[in-house]
Amino acid sequence: MPKAPSNLAASSNRPSLRRNQACLSCRKRKLKCDAARPHCGTCSKQWQAQIGVPPPPGYVHPTEPQCSYDPVEGLPLAPDVDPLDKIKELEELVAQLQRKVKASATASPSSRSVSPSRFRPQTGHGRSFSASSPPNPLSASTAYSPGYDGQSSGSLPSIALPQASLDVNAMSIDRMIHSESPELHSNHSALRSDPLTSLIHSGWNPDLPEPTVLERYVDVFFKCDPCGSRVLHRPAFLASLRLPPKNPGFPHPAVLHAICASASRWISKNIVTLPDGTRRDRFAEFHARQTRQYIDRTMASGEDIFPVMQACVLLSWYFYSEGRWVEVWIFAGFQTRVAIPLRLNYPGTFAGNVGATQGAYLDPPKDSLELELRRRTWWMTVLFDRIVSVGGWVHALDERDIGTELPLRSIDFESNHAVSDNPQHLSTPNVYIEHPSQYTDSFLLLVKALMLFGKVTDFNVRTTLRTPAATSKIQNPFRLPGFEELDRLVCADFVLNFPPKFKDIFGGADSLYGGGGLDTDLFMVHMAPHAAAITLHNPYLDFSDPQNISTARCMDASRAILTQHYALTATSFDITRLHPFAPICWYLAAVVQIQLCKYCIEVGDTDREYIVWGEINVLRFAMTAYGQRCPIGTRQEKLLQGLMAEIVRMTTQQQPLEVGIPLYPFSHAGVFHRSQGQDEDEPRPAHIAPLPLSPQYDDDLSSPAHGSVGTPVLSPPGLKDVGGGWNGNDRVSYTQ
Q: Would the pLDDT of 84 be above 70?
A: yes
Could you read off the pLDDT of 110-150 as tens digits, one per residue?
433 333 333 333 333 333 333 333 333 333 333 333 333 33
Average pLDDT, the chain: 75
Q: Would the pLDDT of 223 be above 80?
A: yes
Torsion sign, CA atoms 388, 389, 390, 392: positive
Q: What was the pLDDT predicted at 189?
A: 42
Q: What was the pLDDT predicted at 730?
A: 45
Q: Would the pLDDT of 29 be above 70?
A: yes
The residue-averaged pLDDT of 58-86 equals 70
Q: What was the pLDDT predicted at 109?
A: 43
Q: What percent of the chain has pLDDT over 90?
A: 36
Q: How far apart (Å, rounded) are the C-alpha atoms in residues 484 and 317?
A: 33
Rank 76-85, 204-213, 264-273, 711-720 by mean pLDDT and report only the highest: 204-213
Residues pairing with 279 in the sheet: 273
Q: Domain ranges in the chain?
A: 7-51
By C-alpha distance, which of 261, 259, 262, 263 is closest to 240? 259
Residue type, 226: P
Lowest mean pLDDT across 19-33, 135-149, 367-381, 721-735: 135-149
- On the 0-12 / 13-18 / 19+ scale of CB atoms within 10 A, 693 is exposed
Q: What was the pLDDT predicted at 198?
A: 58
Q: Would the pLDDT of 705 be above 50?
A: no
Q: What was the pLDDT predicted at 97?
A: 87
Question: Count of alpha carbons within 13 Å of 148, Cβ hemisphere only?
Answer: 19
The residue-averaged pLDDT of 4-16 equals 50
Could you read off the pLDDT of 647-698 as tens digits, one per residue?
888 887 777 776 655 433 333 333 333 334 444 444 443 333 333 333 333 3
175 or 72, greater pLDDT: 72
Could you read off the pLDDT of 517-554 as tens digits, one per residue?
788 999 999 999 999 999 999 989 889 888 899 999 99
Q: Write down the H helix ranges in 466-517.
A: 483-488, 494-496
Q: What was the pLDDT predicted at 383?
A: 95
Q: What was the pLDDT predicted at 671?
A: 31
Q: Are 586 and 579 in contact (CB under 8 A)?
A: no
Count CB neighbours of 657 within 10 A.
Answer: 15
Q: Is the pTM of this model over 0.85?
A: no
Q: What was the pLDDT predicted at 729?
A: 39
The residue-averaged pLDDT of 361-388 equals 91
Q: What was the pLDDT predicted at 726?
A: 42
Count CB neighbours of 168 within 10 A.
Answer: 18
Question: Count of alpha carbons within 13 Å of 205, Cβ hemisphere only?
Answer: 24
Lowest mean pLDDT across 388-397, 528-537, 563-572: 388-397
Could you read off the pLDDT of 247-299 as tens digits, one per residue?
999 999 999 999 999 999 888 777 877 776 667 888 999 999 999 999 999 88
Q: Write down the H helix ranges in 18-118.
A: 24-29, 41-51, 83-107
Residue type, 633: G
The residue-averaged pLDDT of 421-433 equals 93
Q: Would the pLDDT of 421 be above 50?
A: yes
Q: How far apart (Å, rounded) are the C-alpha atoms in residues 622 and 617?
A: 8
Q: What was the pLDDT predicted at 534?
A: 95
The residue-averaged pLDDT of 336-343 equals 89
Q: Write down the H helix ranges in 41-185.
A: 41-51, 83-107, 172-177, 182-185
DSSP strand pairing (279-281 vs 271-273): antiparallel
Q: What percent of the chain has pLDDT over 70?
A: 67
